[in-house]
């Protein structure tokens, strides 16, 4: 049996597609798109990343969304990514206050490159969530999958 939304091979008795997260009806067909509490799951997953840990926490505690595994995964991953970004910027900021002159400029350029990289990652994760994909970041994605 295959998911009609993405074509992924489904396990026996699967309730959701493991690849795209769409709900599987009794006949084996995927009900597309899944709507939870007025928002489709993919839109709610995208919105989890909008304001980082704030929207991630909102979608974890809001009643219709906290039961959707797809939304919970993206909410946890958004929270973990926000905490990781904060930690990286905090540590880099500490080094920038210590480093004198020339090294400070190199640190500032590194901070600019990191900012651009985090912004591109943020947009990429929003894009993947909107396309009903559970893209896992190397360490944070595994943590989010276990929590969801």
pLDDT at 118: 93
For residue 40, what are the β-bridge partners? Answer: 35
pLDDT digits (tens, 9 = 90+) for 112-131: 999 999 999 999 999 999 99
**pLDDT at 86 > cutoff 70:** yes
* Cα(16)–Cα(74) distance, integer angstroms: 16
User: Rounded mean pLDDT of 96-108?
Assistant: 76
For residue 23, what are the β-bridge partners? Answer: 16, 31
Mean per-residue pLDDT of the chain? 81
β-strands 30-31, 35-36: how paired?
unpaired
* Cα(80)–Cα(97) distance, integer angstroms: 26
CA angle (84, 89, 90) in 5-degree steps:
95
* Cα(102)–Cα(105) distance, integer angstroms: 5
- Give this prediction's pTM: 0.68
Confidence of residue 81 (pLDDT cuts 50, 70, 90): very high
* DSSP-H helix ranges across the chain: 41-48, 53-61, 69-98, 101-130, 140-147
Cβ burial, residue 116 (10 Å; 0-12/13-18/19+):
exposed
User: Rounded mean pLDDT of 139-144?
Assistant: 86
For residue 2, what are the β-bridge partners? Answer: 9
């Amino acid at each position: 049996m295959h998911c009609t939304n993405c074509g992924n091979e489904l396990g026996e008795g699967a309730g959701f597609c493991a690849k795209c997260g769409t709900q599987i009806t009794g006949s084996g067909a995927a009900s597309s798109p899944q709507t939870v509490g007025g928002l489709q799951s993919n839109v709610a997953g995208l919105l989890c990343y909008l304001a980082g840990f704030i929207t991630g926490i909102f979608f974890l505690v809001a009643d219709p969304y906290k039961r959707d595994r797809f939304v919970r995964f993206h909410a946890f991953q958004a929270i973990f990514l926000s905490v990781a970004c904060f930690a990286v910027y905090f540590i880099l900021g500490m080094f920038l206050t210590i480093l004198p002159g020339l090294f400070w400029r190199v640190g500032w350029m590194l901070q600019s490159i990191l900012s651009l990289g985090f912004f591109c990652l943020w947009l990429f994760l929003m894009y993947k969530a909107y396309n009903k994909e559970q893209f896992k970041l190397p360490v944070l994605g595994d943590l989010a999958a276990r929590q969801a």
